[in-house]
Structure 1
Amino acid sequence: MDNARILTGTLPPEVARLDKALAEASGLSRGRIQALIAEGRVQVAGALVTSASARTGANASYIIDVPPAAPAEAQPQDIPLDVVFEDEHLIVVNKPAGLVVHPAAGNRDGTLVNALLHHCAGQLSGIGGVARPGIVHRIDKDTSGLLVVAKTDSAHEGLATQFADHSIDRAYIAFAGGKPKPASGTVAGRIGRSDRNRKKMAVLPDGTTRGKHAVTHYSTTATYPHCSEIECRLETGRTHQVRVHCASIGHALLGDPLYGRAPAPLRPILNRLGFQRQALHAAELGFAHPATGERVVFRADLPRDMRELIDEIARFDR
Structure 2
Amino acid sequence: MLSISQLPSFALTSVKSLRYPSSSSSSLSLFFSFFPRVSNFVRASSGIPNLVACSPTEIIIPRVNNAGLRIEETVDVAKGKIRLDSWISSRVNGVSRARVQSSIRLGLVTVNGRVVDKVSHNVKAGDEVNCTISELQPLKAEAEDIPLDIVYEDKHVLVVNKPAHMVVHPAPGNPTGTLVNGILHHCSLPCVSYSNAEDDDSDEETFSDDEEMTTSSSSYAASVRPGIVHRLDKGTTGLLVVAKDEHSHAHLAEQFKLHTIERVYVSLTTGVPSPPQGRIEIPIGRDSSNRIRMAAIPGGVSGGRARHAASRYKVIETFAGGGSSLVEWRLETGRTHQIRAHAKYMGVPLLGDEVYGGTKSMALSLLQKRVSRSDQEEIVELISRMDRPCLHAIVLGFTHPCTGEIVKFSCPPPSDLAEIVGLLRRSGLEKVK
Structure 2 CA distance, aligned partners of 1:147 and 1:77?
19
Q: Secondary structure at the match of 1:247?
A: helix
Tell me if the contact between 1:103 and 1:132 (Cα under 8 Å) persists in the aligned partners: no
Alignment partner for residue 236 of structure 2, among 126, 135, 143?
143
The 5 Å alignment of 1:166-185 reads 166-185=259-278
Q: Give the helix-richer structure, 1 or 2.
A: 2
Larger-gyration structure (1/2): 2
Q: Which amino acid in structure 2 is aligned with residue 205 of structure 1?
A: P
Q: What do the CA deviations read for 1:130-180 (whole angstroms, capped 9, x no partner)?
A: 552211000000000000001101100000000011011100001001111
Q: Which amino acid in structure 2 is aligned with residue 231 of structure 1?
A: E
Alignment partner for residue 168 of structure 2, among 91, 94, 101?
101
Q: Which amino acid in structure 2 is aligned with residue 314 of structure 1?
A: R
Structure 1 CA distance, aligned partners of 2:290 and 2:99?
10
Range with bigger deviation, 304-313 or 263-272: 263-272
Structure 1 CA distance, aligned partners of 2:191 and 2:284?
31
Q: What do the CA deviations read for 1:173-212 (whole angstroms, capped 9, x no partner)?
A: 0100111111101111211110000000001131422221
The 5 Å alignment of 1:41-120 reads 41=100, 61-64=129-132, 66=134, 69=137, 71-120=138-187
Q: Which amino acid in structure 1 is aligned with residue 134 of structure 2?
A: V
Alignment partner for residue 309 of structure 2, among 200, 214, 223?
214
Q: Does structure 1 residue 236 correspond to structure 2 residue 333?
A: yes
Structure 2 CA distance, aligned partners of 1:314 and 1:112?
33
Structure 1 CA distance, aligned partners of 2:69 and 2:398?
43
Q: Does structure 1 residue 154 correspond to structure 2 residue 247?
A: yes
Q: Does structure 1 residue 224 correspond to structure 2 residue 292?
A: no
Range with bigger deviation, 271-280 or 219-228: 271-280
- TM-score, structure 2 as length reference: 0.59
Tell me if the contact between 2:99 and 2:134 (Cα under 8 Å) persists in the aligned partners: no
Q: Does structure 1 residue 280 correspond to structure 2 residue 280?
A: no
Q: Which amino acid in structure 2 is aligned with residue 295 of structure 1?
A: I
Tell me if the contact between 1:191 and 1:214 (Cα under 8 Å) persists in the aligned partners: yes
Structure 2 CA distance, aligned partners of 1:9 and 1:236?
31
CA apart distance, 1:298: 0.7
**Count of aligned pairs between the two proteins:** 279
Range with bigger deviation, 122-131 or 111-120: 122-131
Q: What do the CA deviations read for 1:236-283 (whole angstroms, capped 9, x no partner)?
A: 111100111111100100000110133314377665121110000000
Structure 2 CA distance, aligned partners of 1:38 and 1:152?
34
Tell me if the contact between 2:161 and 2:237 (Cα under 8 Å) persists in the aligned partners: yes
Q: Which amino acid in structure 1 is aligned with residue 424 of structure 2?
A: I
Q: Secondary structure at the match of 2:272?
A: coil
Q: 1:123 to 1:235 in 2, by over 3 A?
A: farther
- TM-score, structure 1 as length reference: 0.78
Q: Does structure 1 residue 35 correspond to structure 2 residue 94?
A: yes
Q: Which amino acid in structure 1 is aligned with residue 259 of structure 2?
A: H
- RMSD of Structure 2 on Structure 1 (CA): 3.2
